[in-house]
Amino acid sequence: MSLPTQFRCGIDTGGTFTDLVALDETTGDLVVAKWPSSPHHPEEALIGVIRESQLPPEAFSSLILGTTVATNALLQREGARVLFVTTKGFRDVPFIQRINRRYHYSLEWTKPKPLAERIDCLEVDERINHKGEVLVALTDQELVRLSERIEERLNGTDRPNTAVAVCLLFSHLNPKHEQRIQEYLTGRFQDLPVSLSYRVAPIWREYERGSTVLADAFVKPTLQRYVGSVRKSFESMGISCPWSVMKSNGGRATAEVAENEPVGVVLSGLSGGIIGGRFFGELADHENLVTLDMGGTSCDVGVVRKGQIAYNTDYQIEWGLPVAAPFVDLTTIGAGGGSIAWIDKGGFLRVGPQSAGADPGPVCYDQGGKDVTVTDANLVLGRLNPNYFLAGKMRLNTDKAHQKLAELGATLGMTVEETAQAVIEMANENMANAIRVASIDRGLDARDFTLVAFGGAGPLHASGIVGRVGMKRIVVPLYPGLCSAFGSLIADFQVDKVWSKHFRSDRVDVDVVRKHFDELVSEAVREIHDEGFFGDPEMERTISMRYAGQNYEHDVRVEDGEITAGSLDEAFEEFHRLHERFYGYSIGYEVIELIRFNVKVVGRTDNPQLKAVATSGEPRPRETRQVYFKEQGFVACPVYRREDLRAGFTWEGPALVEEADSMILAHPGDRLSVDAHGVITMDV
């Protein structure tokens, strides 16, 4: 039998598992598969999971990969040797950093090491000032001198794993010197990739821009190797459809773009979840969403407002090492099933951020874990099925979890159940707190939002979290454990462009602004075509503004159409309103400074049509289990299988719904309903 090419496929490489979700575009059927990740050879797990899906190579129409290969290279410091090139007098900026410290009262903390050694930081005699004017020209002799020093530094070293990062002062205002260095070095050293700070982060502040370009250069050879091995693997399997890599901003990049500007895919593995969450939230008819992806070790919280995902450029590799590139804005905290419960010196119960991980894992995994975890607490309270964990692939040891919780409870003077309940409440409170921070930081009120809960543990905790932040409704996607892979499959194309230029609202040159916006747009459209999108993209133009004298900006949207004095005035009015909303005051007559001009171009991917689930018949619980709730104590609780549920079915908690990779918990009084596609909504 030969299948037509009709499967759109998303694959997400996580720390433990590589997940695949493929969508049959004609029938709306979903095919899912899971395969253990192979951290050192991610392509092997790709091959494994594709084989596991049993889809033939010619069945795929497109493949999109979410990968943590760049993130891991940064976090584990396994990347290129980077030569850092900067303006004379400034080679120590990556070491000096911003001179503040992570903790007020700790002598244990040490400053993060930058991604280049000091001996590899080289200076060139050139200087541009704050107006973009050249004070000291970059001469040919200086370029020769630089290349000689690079030659000297490279002498006899592993050339293929080396890259250059260039960050010159004020290059965001005038990039000519950086461009010249790149041209010269690329001509002189053919196999040496050169990253420029004005391209990867056209922002002011030399430390933050330099740190970003260092990260780009650091992961570049790693990305090149990854792309090369994936390409080879797909060829060997006979897969010939186009494929791309998820970008940190939620868009997707062709392999070529990903390897040339890897700073854009640093958080590739994180962006799928919120996109998948948004899809299911919107399917259930909600446009204001908080997404909660809770797995084994951590929990990511994202915000979707009126269908728009929030973005940020403040990622840090570790505290103090920023990467200022656009990424979907997630608040990540150390709260997952494996988070460890402990008692601090003041006698408070704490949960996380330390995790028992997959090995040894929670006490109930029976692999030698000694620390009580959130999973142990869930098991003891009857919220997990010891015989159907990972669809029965792992049996959980309830007795051992019980014993360890009893020991913890003895120190707190609480019963086993009270202790387990407190552990879960602490974890829930930590996540609720992340939701508060994520919404408050954007001036939003979480109570107006719907929670989309996924990841292995999200649907189990969701009902316990929403009440703490005043939310009322929860949506649980199909295959909650595979939501990131699903998100990759439906990702749009997206290109972000920035132009840094300073204007005052009372002296802004409308023609110059119009001209540059037009240039940014055409550049972005060209790039989005390079990334494989051929339709008419949507675009959004914003200007980063602040009151004259302030130091931080707000992005204000400019209405579509030609830029005119009127459309700018409109944007200034909007800035006053935003300032009022965020900070409680505005200054109507104050001059506004325009700092950056931003263009976002989005190529929409058609949303998939999911298959309707059956409507007939009343599902029967597979069993009834005693589950502990704080107010009621142990209560008889029906346990359903998700595959048994029918569209239109509604009922009231307490109830559990189990499936292969997740468990949904409805507290007493929660109302559940199943929609036409099988998505579950829970009102609490």
Partner 1 sequence: MENIDSVTLSVINNALINACREMGTAMMRTSYSPIFNEGLDFSCVIFNTRAEMIGQAEFCPTMLGSAQYAVKWTIEELGLDSFEPGDVVIHNDPYRGQCHMPEHMVLKPVFHGGELQCFVGNIAHIGEIGGMAPGSFASDATEVYQEGLRLPPVKIMQRGEYVKDVWRIILTNHRTPKTSWGDLHAMIGSLNIAETRMHELLERYGAELFAAAGDQLLDYSERWMRSEIQEIPNGVYRFQDCMEDDGVTDQPVWMRLKLIVKDDEIIADWTDSDAQASGPVNATFVVTAAATYSAVLHVTNKDIPVNSGCYRPIRLITNPGTVVNVRHPGPSVGGNTETHPHLQNVVMAALSQAVPERAAAAEAGTACNFLFGGAHPETGEYYTNYHFDGGGWGATALHDGNSVMCPVNGNCRNTPAEVLETKYPFLTLEYSLRTDSGGDGKFRGGLGSKRVLRVVGPEITVSALLDRTRTYPWGLFGAGHGAAGGLLVKKKGDSRFRTFSEVYGTVSATKFTRIVLKEDDEVAILSPGGGGYGSPSERTAEQIEDDVRQGLISAAAARTSYGYER
SS3 per residue for 543-595: EEEEECCCCCCEEEEECCCCCCHHHHHHHHHHHHHHHHHHHCCCCCCCCEEEE
- Between 170 and 279, name the residue whose CB sits nearer to partner 1: 170
d(CA 439, CA 305): 10
The 307-336 site mask, x for binding partner 1 (CB under 8 A), equals ------------------------------
Residue 565 neighbours by CB under 8 Å, 6+ apart: 510
- Residue 242 Cβ vs partner 1, minimum distance, rounded to whole Å: 41
Among 159, 205, 370, 442, binds partner 1 (CB under 8 A): 205
Contact status, residue 596 vs residue 544, Cβ threshold 8 Å: yes
- Between 554 and 625, name the residue whose CB sits nearer to partner 1: 554
Considering only residues 521 through 560, tell me which ones interact with partner 1, judged by CB under 8 A: 547, 549-552
Report residue 416 as tokens: 């086993």
The 560-599 site mask, x for binding partner 1 (CB under 8 A), equals -------------------x--xxxx-x------------
- Between 345 and 620, name the residue whose CB sits nearer to partner 1: 345
- Residue 251 Cβ vs partner 1, minimum distance, rounded to whole Å: 27
Burial of residue 551 (CB within 10 Å: 0-12, 13-18, 19+) is: exposed
Contact status, residue 397 vs residue 364, Cβ threshold 8 Å: yes
DSSP string, 205-254: -HHHHHHHHHHHHHHHHHHHHHHHHHHHHHHHHT--S-EEEE-TTS-EEE
Please choose, out of 42-50, 68-76, 198-206, 368-376, the segment that lies near partner 1 by the rule CB under 8 A: 198-206
- Between 358 and 578, name the residue whose CB sits nearer to partner 1: 578
d(CA 192, CA 438): 40
d(CA 290, CA 343): 31
Residues in the chain: 684
- Residue 359 Cβ vs partner 1, minimum distance, rounded to whole Å: 27
- Between 88 and 671, name the residue whose CB sits nearer to partner 1: 88
DSSP string, 595-632: EEEEEEEEEPPPPP-PPPPP--S----SEEEEEEETTT
- Between 103 and 534, name the residue whose CB sits nearer to partner 1: 103
SS3 per residue for 487-508: HHHCCCEEEEEEEEEEEECCCC
The 50-89 site mask, x for binding partner 1 (CB under 8 A), equals ---------------------------------------x
Considering only residues 431 through 470, tell me which ones interact with partner 1, judged by CB under 8 A: 433, 436-437, 440-441, 468
Residue 603 neighbours by CB under 8 Å, 6+ apart: 492, 493, 494, 528, 531, 533, 535, 537, 538
Among 206, 216, 300, 527, binds partner 1 (CB under 8 A): 206
- Residue 322 Cβ vs partner 1, minimum distance, rounded to whole Å: 12
344 interacts with partner 1 by CB under 8 A: yes
The 380-419 site mask, x for binding partner 1 (CB under 8 A), equals --------------------------------x-------
The 86-105 site mask, x for binding partner 1 (CB under 8 A), equals ---xxxxx-xxxxxxx-xxx
d(CA 421, CA 380): 9
- Residue 580 Cβ vs partner 1, minimum distance, rounded to whole Å: 10
d(CA 195, CA 164): 6
Please choose, out of 49-57, 115-123, 256-264, 369-377, the segment that lies near partner 1 by the rule CB under 8 A: 115-123
How many residues belong to the site for partner 1 (CB under 8 A)? 64
Report residue 355 as tokens: 């995790």
Label the pairing between strands 134-136 and 127-128: antiparallel
- Residue 679 Cβ vs partner 1, minimum distance, rounded to whole Å: 31
- Between 205 and 604, name the residue whose CB sits nearer to partner 1: 205
In single-letter form, the type of residue at position 587 comes to I
- Residue 216 Cβ vs partner 1, minimum distance, rounded to whole Å: 19
State the residues that interact with partner 1 by CB under 8 A. 89-93, 95-101, 103-111, 117-119, 129-130, 135, 169-170, 204-208, 344-350, 412, 422, 425-426, 429, 433, 436-437, 440-441, 468, 502, 547, 549-552, 579, 582-585, 587
